[in-house]
Amino acid sequence: MSQPAIATVRVRPSTGLGLPRPDPVKIHTLDLVVPLVWAPIYYFFPPVSQAEHPVKETVLNLISSLADVLEHFPLLAGAIKPDESGNLCIHSDNVGADFVYELRNAKFPGEHVQGIDPRGLDFGLPAPGDPLVAVKFTAVRQSNLIFFVAITDRAPQFTCGTYVLCITTHHVVGDLTSTMDFTYAYARRFANKPYLSTVPKTWSREPLKYFDTASTPVSSLPLMDKVPGITILAPNQPPPPFPLPEPIDLVQIYTTTQKITQIKNAINSSASSPGVSTFQVLTALLWQATVRVAFSHLPEDEPINIGLAVNGRERAPTRAMVQDRFYGNFNPAVCVSLTTGQLVHSDVAFIASAIKRSLKEQLDPQFIVSKVKTLESMDCRRFLPDNRCQFTSWPKDLMLGEDLNFGFNFIDDPSPMKGKRKVVVSAGDDIPFPVGTMQSMMLNEDTYKIIAAVPRGMKDVMLDQVQAWSVERPKVILTPPRNILLPQSQARL
């Protein structure tokens, strides 16, 4: 079998509009409390019409579209380095983005995404002058692409002619909301549609200005003595040794909105626990299962915190933060704390109600302001997260938009999904998350895919814990390879 053909080019912003570059933007404290890793998102397109979207033209269009979008997202074409005062800033100095393209014959190995991420598991901040964005386009010329999810009423058929696109940005640049603003602009530009609606109106990273009101000025709100979910080290206290990576199993769990809604309705029918949401119930189920599998050996009175990632933009008193398309990290993570005994022995209604109370308290705008002010007032090198568990739920409205088709016309367009988005999206299943990490994303309007990190050898125990509310993995129909191999001229690019 021949080796894949692969090449990398540096794509710099277009200059046709002559847009001014913003001044260096100081990195905010909330940009540095996130994991300093690359955050890839993978788009798996069903077999694409080679007549309408030949590989060479597709690559050239992806490159030119990326250049055009970077002109409107100058920070993403920049680099991180100190300013004259020593503050760590993003400088819009046209470093550009790396674009990698690959033609491969080999099938993809099941549910994994190894080899299609242009950055991999690089930890820490990018070096000064290194790009902050990378894109990789992979065209499958031969054999079946075996992947893991049905997103139509029948399983998708991935064969030769499949295109895969990985877009990865460094987490210090922005959170998922910001990344998807860039991705939507890129997808719409590639499809030759208007694409400026998600371009930020400002590059300022001063989130608290959106919470400053005449009735409650930001300056009037106090600092916190204790920030939930974070231990703040004393000035002379050395940080603890960095924990060694623990061998893990990544467990894939599937469930449906119908399953979770049934549990939610049963809980809400009880007068003692009214009004919990689907998200709160799903979080409670996962948190309890993870603790039973990974942490039940701890003393029953030991607190076990879970950190919940949230988009804080919608918590500002007005919608100005949303309307300005604030670009950066604004995750005022909510911390919920229960003891080992409560999590192991309580019913789901008790845990969901505790989650509901913490969300209500910690997403209050005044609470957010005090928390962010406290973090801003301190050296982030003194922050020590103390959440044993972490749950991130990717909102479906960010991941299931029709524009993420990138304008491709697919060979198969079966009813009832004709004209709708059929792209499989993945956050990657090969990342060595710490034990207690959970991620959930909507694969379609009804199906959740959840990834949970548990100690090595505990995968089957975890699957037993979630059996009552999970479903079998959606099946993939494998079909023989089609005779739509790329011409040799296209294979060489």
Superfamily of the domain at 211-399+417-465: Chloramphenicol acetyltransferase-like domain (3.30.559.10)
DSSP single-letter state for residue 470: -
Contact 227/439 with Cβ under 8 angstroms?
no
Using the structure block, give the residue that is written with the tokens 């960095």. 242
CATH of domain 5-206: 3.30.559.10
Contact 313/177 with Cβ under 8 angstroms?
yes
| Structural domain spans, the chain | 5-206, 211-399+417-465
Phi, psi of 368 (to 5 degrees): -60, -45
Q: Is 375 left (phi over 0), alpha (psi -120 to 50) or beta?
A: alpha
For the stretch 311-340, pLDDT in tens is 999 999 988 999 999 999 999 999 999 999
| Cβ atoms within 10 Å, residue 473 | 14
Does residue 416 have a cis peptide bond before it, meaning omega lies within 30 degrees of 0? yes
Question: Under DSSP, is residue 172 helix (H, G, I), strand (E, B) or coil?
Answer: coil
Report which of 328, 308, 356 is spatially closest to residue 210, judged by C-alpha positions. Answer: 328
Element containing residue 306 per DSSP (H, E): strand 303-308
CATH fold match for the domains 5-206 and 211-399+417-465? yes
Contact 453/266 with Cβ under 8 angstroms?
no
Per-residue pLDDT of the chain (493 residues), as tens digits, is 445 567 889 999 999 888 989 999 999 999 988 888 888 887 777 666 666 778 888 899 999 999 999 999 999 999 999 988 888 999 999 999 999 988 876 555 444 455 667 776 677 888 888 999 999 888 765 433 333 222 333 333 344 567 788 888 999 999 989 998 999 999 999 999 999 999 999 999 999 999 999 899 999 999 999 999 988 888 888 777 666 678 889 898 999 999 999 999 999 987 666 789 999 999 999 999 999 999 999 999 999 999 999 999 999 998 899 999 999 999 999 999 999 999 999 999 999 999 999 999 999 999 999 999 999 998 887 888 889 999 988 766 656 566 777 877 654 444 333 334 445 555 555 566 789 999 888 776 788 889 999 999 999 999 999 999 999 876 543 332 232 232 333 333 3
Three-state helix/strand/coil letters over 213-232: CCCCCHHHCCCCCCCCCEEE
Q: Please classify residue 195 by burial: count the beta carbons closer than 10 Å to its beta carbon, then call 0-12 exposed, 13-18 middle and 19+ buried.
A: buried
> What span, in angstroms and rounded, lies between the C-alpha atoms of 176 and 174?
7
pTM of the model: 0.85
